[in-house]
């Protein structure tokens, strides 16, 4: 019985999965699945222009596959960590604004 009580198994599912299938209406859910480094298939149920652009970028880079009958790309080769690139971009923006 699922009564909403107890621990949420979400993190455990992500940690133990050999591959993941998620819906594309949540950028966070797709991002968390991709961060595992396991193959990710996305079922695109819509979600607006921002979601469409996000998914198109990941598909084009072969980070995820779509659950539309097309072949899945290989695993990303490990968890994706965008923190260093994001930090460098913030540094450049701050330097550009400094006088």
Confidence (pTM)? 0.70
> What local confidence, expressed as pLDDT, does residue 53 receive?
92
Reported as a single tens digit per residue, the pLDDT across 52-84 is: 899 999 888 888 899 887 777 666 556 667 788
Please spell the DSSP secondary structure of 18-76, one letter per residue. Answer: SSEEEETT-HHHHHHHHHTTS-EEEE-----HHHHHHHHHHHHTTS-EESSSSPPPPP-
> What local confidence, expressed as pLDDT, does residue 22 receive?
92
């Amino acid at each position: 019985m699922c009564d909403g009580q107890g621990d949420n198994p979400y993190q455990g599912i992500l940690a133990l999965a050999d591959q993941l299938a998620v819906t594309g209406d949540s950028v966070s859910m797709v991002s968390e699945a991709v961060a595992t480094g396991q193959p990710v298939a996305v079922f695109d149920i819509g979600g607006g222009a921002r979601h469409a652009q996000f998914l198109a970028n990941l598909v084009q880079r072969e980070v995820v596959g779509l659950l539309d009958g097309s072949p899945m790309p290989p695993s990303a080769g490990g968890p994706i960590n965008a923190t260093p690139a994001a930090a460098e971009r913030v540094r450049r923006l701050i330097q550009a604004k400094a006088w």
